[in-house]
Chains A and B, each alone.
Chain A
Amino acid sequence: MTEKLRDLLHDRAADVDFPTPDLDVLVRAGDQRVRRRRGLVAVGSVAALAVAAALVLPTLDNAGDSPDAATATGSDALPTDVVSWANGSVLHAGDAQVDLGFEVLAFVQTTAGYVAVDPDGVVHSVVDGAISAIGHTAVPSAHLVTDHDSTLVGWLSDEGDVPAFVVHDLALGSGVLEDSSATTAAMGGLADERDPAYFYALDGDTAYWRDERGAVAVDITNSEVSVIDAEARNGFDLVDVQDGVFAFYGDQGVEVGGSRESARPLPGVMESSGVLSPLATMYAPDAELARVEGLDGTPVPLMVPADYFFSTVYEWSDDQTVRVIALQDEDASADLLTCSISTGACELLVDGAGGQGELQLPVGERLGG
């Protein structure tokens, strides 16, 4: 009895002809999409917890001044619980700002301060008004990782003969882990390279990276290693980790769970990067229009104003609040919004934070890179 329906569908389908799609058009559009995502999206990175409070603090420099790094240190620390962004060499934190004296290639925000990479690959900490060089990483592919409510920052160091995974504690002012036990000089550091050494994420006291063993979890307190996915091929296999919950990327899109084996597809989420909420109750994919999904696949509506042609969640302020980058057109200066998960309401946080090539957000990677 099902044959009638099957016959109908096959007959109807056979009645229509379609031209073969133009491969050049597809490849151009696909490449453009990849570039846009690399440029405007939090690529699997997490940023620091920051409450959407509009603190009014005095600026630490004068507009137009460009102090060098040695003189950029102020007596006041930049707040770490507000929205942050960088534009050129100026790091903004709420209404406060400081000129770091170097172009900010990428940065992250922690509860103890900021870490930024300059165009030469020097990794700097910005803590209590003091700027210090704390390491070196390859550029322009610099990739910093941190966690919510954390003082830890991780990166792939290129200072030795082989790449080394480094974790630095801003509260201590020193490194807490350096590991090159399973990397080789031949390994690249880009997510989409063949066989890269790649720092996926920090979650609590655990660092996640890819080395010769696949995707591994390393306990920062005792350097104990466990392999979580021996088949991990590159920097895209593990999208995010929060509160012990993994967001992997598989053939059917994002898969979430407590292990590679138990992870299940997140219904309808095929974007290859995104961010879990701090308590891993929701996931924000790097969609072309900002959206959030419950881990059961229930969409959480966000009322981003309709005049933005592009918007995407780039960080979670807390488990009920996201921050969104939004553009009114390709060439517009980006606005930063905050949106409530419970109501879906969005408010403008920063009007015109910067254009492509200028603006950097606390996602640990270079926007537009």
Chain B
Amino acid sequence: MTRRDEFAEFVTGRSGALHRAAYLMVGDQALAQDLVQEALVKTYAAWPRLRDKGNAEAYCRKAITTTAISWFRRKSWSHERPTEPLPTGATGLDPVGHDDAVTQSQWLWVGLQQLPPRQRAAIVLRYYEDLTEVQTAEAMGCAVGTVKSQVSAGIAKLREHLGDDADLLPLTDLVVNR
């Protein structure tokens, strides 16, 4: 099997999952596509150096995560990006239909998108990808302790954002440590 064939098999099998994780990290479909495209190009360029082709997904996931963080950092994108209109949260008026499950989800989603990029990435990797702290640290290119602090800070901010509905989220000290 040629390098191109191996890579094609990887793209066909895994690009959907990679796109979804990227989307959760950046909250924008077009940007997620750009991000995955960039990560896949990096993965293809690195293909001969990957000892175990089974690790291509981990490599690509790391490329997505670090590239996303890098883009946000470089462009201060978190301050420029359009976000959905935000009603005030815990400290102000409740959003319309706050007790409705759909609205709760929307409210939580908006809160997630307001998190700094590293906290958002850490939460997506831990709670969507279901990675261990060690795997998350590898994907983010940081220490395990940093993952713990980023997840903890992110959850705390989401709880603050949710106000009265904060119990929908894990307490920071109940975050699963593996």
Contact = CB atoms under 8 A, between A and B. Distances in A.
Interface of A: 1-2, 4-14, 16, 18, 20-21, 23, 25-27, 29-31, 33-34, 37, 192, 231, 233-234, 236, 249-253, 265-270, 272, 297
Contacts of B143: 267, 297
Contacts of B21: 13
Contacts of A12: 23-24, 105, 109
B59 A251 contact: yes
Interface stretch (B43-51, B76-84, B86-94): B43-51
A27 B6 CA distance: 12
25 contacts: A1-B171, A4-B168, A5-B108, A5-B168, A5-B170, A8-B105, A12-B24, A16-B20, A18-B23, A18-B33, A20-B12, A20-B16, A26-B37, A29-B37, A192-B48, A231-B51, A250-B51, A251-B51, A252-B138, A265-B141, A267-B141, A269-B141, A270-B59, A270-B66, A297-B142
Contacts of A10: 128
Given A26-B44, A29-B41, A18 B123 contact: no
Q: Which 10 A-B pairs have the closest CB atoms?
A: A30-B44, A268-B141, A267-B141, A13-B20, A18-B19, A9-B128, A251-B55, A4-B168, A29-B41, A236-B49
Given A6-B128, A9-B24, A252-B138, A21 B171 contact: no
Given A12-B109, A267-B141, A21 B127 contact: no
Interface in B120-177: 123-124, 127-128, 138, 140-143, 158, 167-171, 174-176
Contacts of B108: 4-5, 8
B7 interface: yes
Contact of B41 (A26, A231, A265, A272): A26
A14 B105 CA distance: 14
B48 A2 contact: no
B137 to A, nearest CB: 8
B59 A26 contact: no
A27 B47 CA distance: 11
Nearest to B107: A8
A251 B50 contact: yes
Contacts of A37: 45
Interface of B: 4, 7-8, 11-12, 15-16, 19-21, 23-24, 29, 32-33, 36-37, 40-52, 55, 58-59, 62-63, 66, 70, 104-105, 108-109, 112, 123-124, 127-128, 138, 140-143, 158, 167-171, 174-176
B15 A21 contact: yes
Contacts of A249: 49
B51 to A, nearest CB: 6
Contacts of A23: 4, 7-8, 11
Contacts of B11: 20-21, 23, 26
Nearest to A266: B141
A249 B51 CA distance: 10
A228 to B, nearest CB: 16
B43 to A, nearest CB: 8
A215 to B, nearest CB: 13
Given A8-B105, A26-B11, A270 B46 contact: yes
B169 A30 contact: no
B155 to A, nearest CB: 8
B63 to A, nearest CB: 6
B7 A27 contact: yes
A21 B40 contact: yes
Nearest to B12: A20
B175 to A, nearest CB: 8
B51 A1 contact: no
Chain A CB count within 10 A is highest, among B11, B47, B51, B59, for B51
Nearest to B53: A251
A136 B104 CA distance: 72
Contact of B46 (A6, A231, A272): A272
Contacts of B24: 9, 12-13
Contacts of A34: 45
A13 B174 CA distance: 25
A25 B4 CA distance: 12
Nearest to A13: B20
A192 B49 CA distance: 8
A5 B141 CA distance: 24
Contacts of B40: 21, 26, 30
B46 A2 contact: no
B173 to A, nearest CB: 12
A33 B40 CA distance: 12
A9 B15 contact: no
Contact of B127 (A2, A27, A297): A2
A134 B40 CA distance: 44
A235 B63 CA distance: 22
B48 A1 contact: no
